[in-house]
Chain A
Amino acid sequence: MRFLFKTDYEQDIQLAKHSGYIWSYGALLLAVLIVPFFLEEYYVGQMTQLYIMAIAGVGLMLLAGYTGLISLGHAAFFGIGAYTEAVLTGNGLALPFMDEPIVFSFFLSFPLAGIFAAIAGIAIGIPALRLVGIYLAIATFAFAIIIEEILSRWESVTNGYSGLLVESIYFGDFELTDGTPFYYLCLGVLIAVILFSLNLLRSPTGRAMMAVRDSEISAQSMGVNLAKTKTIAFALSAGITGLAGALFAHKLGFLSPESFTVLQSLELLVLVVVGGLGSMHGAVFGALFVLALPQGLAILKDYLPTQIAEVPGIEPLLFGLILVLIIIFEPLGIYGRWLKVKLYFQMFPLYKKATFKRQKSYMKSERLR
């Protein structure tokens, strides 16, 4: 057990509370940096996909976990980001007064993908400001369906259901959007996004977002402008999800509206809830759950006795079972379990199970609304 002796107010808001943080996250960083040299190409691709989902998860976490606004339409922002990237780096932006469409470099189109998604986020955010809970979920759901329709009908730009080829990004002969370089790109973006979010959350804006989540009335009486805070949260969340979408476009290499359906939105929501609402860890754990667990189950299937492994639909069954168990037994998702494991090692011989013992019903402090 470590006791922190604080000598400075700055210590209260430092991201690394003590040297342990630097060591453990440093080790993690080192591990993910060297891992492509030891893995097969397929698994490097899977890790890349994991980072992309985690970025989208961080985006939704800001909205659902930290501002308390449920969105069933994040696939729309994901899609907007992906299509913006594909169009800007591919066919380019055709303006009426110009002879040739402008084709953007990746370093310009990538932020633009985020910005476009953020603008879409503001567009849905402003009318949806008065909505909370289930009503907001329905409004964003409708928005997602509209965007899906636009993506499939606006054929001059998106090419509809015939799909849109995404150009790879080259620097001379060096291909950025494939294999190991792309892995590092996604990892870099994920780390940047997480650091940005953590920084945001220790700033007044971030605290205002959490205040809005916990009590709108109190937040207002502390001088928080509800409309502004919610719009910011919507814009940032949509923007980050849009960035994930842009990377996703390069990962797939071929876009069609079917990749951005409501199912994708639901998957994102499952990701943040299972990972743990209201924690940055949760976004990464959730991405692990959504992506790595089906993979793990597929591998596990090879080791199961044939009678069980041959049962049709055994993988979705196991996946669903684990999902339900986590939802029932861990109010804070996988992050909650992580906290327990962490405390177990911190306290080592003295860990008491009763620390996390629950009463019949959830207390106010145990689960977000």
Chain B
Amino acid sequence: MSEPILKVRNIETYYGPIMAIRGVSLDVEEGKIVTVLGANGAGKTTILKTICGVMDPQKGSIVFDGAEIQKKDPDKIMRRGLSHVPEGREVFPFLSVRDNLMMGAYTRNDRDGIAHDLELVHTYFPILKQRSEQPAGQLSGGEQQMLSISRALMARPKVMLLDEPSLGLSPILVKEIFAIIKRLNVEQGMTMLLVEQNANIALHTADFGYVLEVGRIVMEDTTENLLNKDDIREFYLGMQDHGVRGKRRWKKRKTWR
């Protein structure tokens, strides 16, 4: 097994006195999609913020591409090749779609490469080409999400951190976006760390999964194995076993508790 491109080891992150991440370790291997599942308040977003440098971990290390990046500034980390697609899209509403995409390529100097990537992005998200002159604030939620992902792609990162790409989107758009995410992974070999609430689609898209509960990782496995685990099926996918008596057992506990 090759060395993972992103190694997170025992990070602990606090909001003031509140410990949001309680010693999380995870690996992201090159060319894979890794997903972190968890309910609200489990600390998914905090993990991504800590990795990309918006927040500082109190303890622990983050090794990206052979160098420690914990407590570095977000722009420095981004220049090393780690793009963050923030939760809730955060496009620049007054810039045109094209300018938004060019902002994604802010750190690059190779005009040819940028033009090529712009084309590439347009083949994946043709709608962005149609709207390229519109201010990004006028796009619909789904289009803004596409723009947000494309903007991160324009930096040609080594690893992309995706924070809830399904947030506020209709099921059909969610499917569409995850299909493109998968295609980007297969065709471009893009490595991704995907944080999701929608366990079903995330597990079907990703290669490897972590389950996060109140700041701890309680389960990690390949997504095929996770999909077959009883706990995941029941608590994250909502499939219930109806048991012998035809109703759910009231004493049912998760295995990790």
On whether the beta carbons of B16 and A360 are closer than 8 Å, the reply is: no
On whether the beta carbons of B17 and A355 are closer than 8 Å, the reply is: yes
Q: A359-B56, A361-B54 are in contact. Are A352 and B15 (CB under 8 A)?
A: no
On whether the beta carbons of B17 and A359 are closer than 8 Å, the reply is: no
On whether the beta carbons of B16 and A357 are closer than 8 Å, the reply is: yes
Instruction: Tell me the chain B residues, 14-69 only, with Cβ under 8 Å from chain A.
Output: 14-17, 54-56
Name the one of A352, A356, A359 contacting B55, with C-beta atoms under 8 angstroms.
Answer: A359
* A363 contacts chain B at the CB level, 8 A cutoff: yes
- State how many angstroms separate the Cβ of B70 from the closest Cβ of chain A: 12
Instruction: Tell me the chain A residues, 346-368 only, with Cβ under 8 Å from chain B.
Output: 352, 354-361, 363
- State how many angstroms separate the Cβ of A357 from the closest Cβ of chain B: 6
Contact with B along A109-137 (1 / 0, CB 8 A): 00000000000000000000000000000
On whether the beta carbons of A355 and B16 are closer than 8 Å, the reply is: yes
Instruction: Tell me the chain B residues, 179-222 only, with Cβ under 8 Å from chain A.
Output: none
Residues of B within 8 A of A360 (CB): 54-56
Contact with A along B94-110 (1 / 0, CB 8 A): 00000000000000000
- State how many angstroms separate the Cβ of A367 from the closest Cβ of chain B: 13
> Please, which residue of chain A has its CB at the minimum distance from the CB of B49?
A359
What are 7 A-B residue pairs whose CB atoms fall within 8 Å in the complex?
A352-B17, A354-B14, A354-B17, A355-B17, A357-B14, A360-B55, A363-B15
Interface residues of A, dominant DSSP = loop
Q: B residues bordering A, Cβ < 8 Å?
A: 14-17, 54-56
Residues of B within 8 A of A358 (CB): 16
Residues of B within 8 A of A359 (CB): 15, 54-56
Residues of A within 8 A of B17 (CB): 352, 354-355, 357
Instruction: Tell me the chain A residues, 311-369 only, with Cβ under 8 Å from chain B.
Output: 352, 354-361, 363
A352 to B55, CA, bound (A): 20
A358 to B58, CA, bound (A): 11
- State how many angstroms separate the Cβ of A359 from the closest Cβ of chain B: 5
Residues of A within 8 A of B55 (CB): 359-360
A305 to B153, CA, bound (A): 61
- Given A356-B16, A357-B14; 18 other pairs, CB 8 A cutoff: A352-B17, A354-B14, A354-B16, A354-B17, A355-B16, A355-B17, A357-B16, A357-B17, A358-B16, A359-B15, A359-B54, A359-B55, A359-B56, A360-B54, A360-B55, A360-B56, A361-B54, A363-B15
A341 to B56, CA, bound (A): 26
Instruction: Tell me the chain A residues, 2-39 only, with Cβ under 8 Å from chain B.
Output: none
Residues of A within 8 A of B14 (CB): 354, 357
- State how many angstroms separate the Cβ of A354 from the closest Cβ of chain B: 6
A304 to B74, CA, bound (A): 44
A363 to B14, CA, bound (A): 12
Residues of A within 8 A of B15 (CB): 359, 363
A356 to B15, CA, bound (A): 9
- State how many angstroms separate the Cβ of A361 from the closest Cβ of chain B: 7
Residues of B within 8 A of A356 (CB): 16
Residues of A within 8 A of B56 (CB): 359-360
A359 to B16, CA, bound (A): 8
A361 to B55, CA, bound (A): 8
> Please, which residue of chain B has its CB at the minimum distance from the CB of A358?
B16
A358 to B17, CA, bound (A): 9
A315 to B17, CA, bound (A): 38
Q: In this complex, which of B15, B16, B55 has the most chain A Cβ atoms within 10 angstroms of its Cβ?
A: B16
Residues of B within 8 A of A357 (CB): 14, 16-17
> Please, which residue of chain B has its CB at the minimum distance from the CB of A357?
B16
A360 to B74, CA, bound (A): 10
Q: In this complex, which of A352, A354, A363 has the most chain B Cβ atoms within 10 angstroms of its Cβ?
A: A354
Residues of B within 8 A of A355 (CB): 16-17
- State how many angstroms separate the Cβ of B101 from the closest Cβ of chain A: 25
A358 to B15, CA, bound (A): 7
> Please, which residue of chain B has its CB at the minimum distance from the CB of A353?
B17
- State how many angstroms separate the Cβ of A364 from the closest Cβ of chain B: 11
Residues of B within 8 A of A354 (CB): 14, 16-17
> Please, which residue of chain B has its CB at the minimum distance from the CB of A361?
B54
- State how many angstroms separate the Cβ of B11 from the closest Cβ of chain A: 14
Instruction: Tell me the chain A residues, 134-155 only, with Cβ under 8 Å from chain B.
Output: none
A314 to B250, CA, bound (A): 73
A352 to B16, CA, bound (A): 10
A356 to B17, CA, bound (A): 7
A363 to B17, CA, bound (A): 13
Contact with B along A193-223 (1 / 0, CB 8 A): 0000000000000000000000000000000
A361 to B15, CA, bound (A): 11
- State how many angstroms separate the Cβ of B53 from the closest Cβ of chain A: 8
A356 to B54, CA, bound (A): 18
- State how many angstroms separate the Cβ of B17 from the closest Cβ of chain A: 5
- State how many angstroms separate the Cβ of B127 from the closest Cβ of chain A: 27
> Please, which residue of chain B has its CB at the minimum distance from the CB of A363?
B15
- State how many angstroms separate the Cβ of A104 from the closest Cβ of chain B: 54
A360 to B16, CA, bound (A): 11
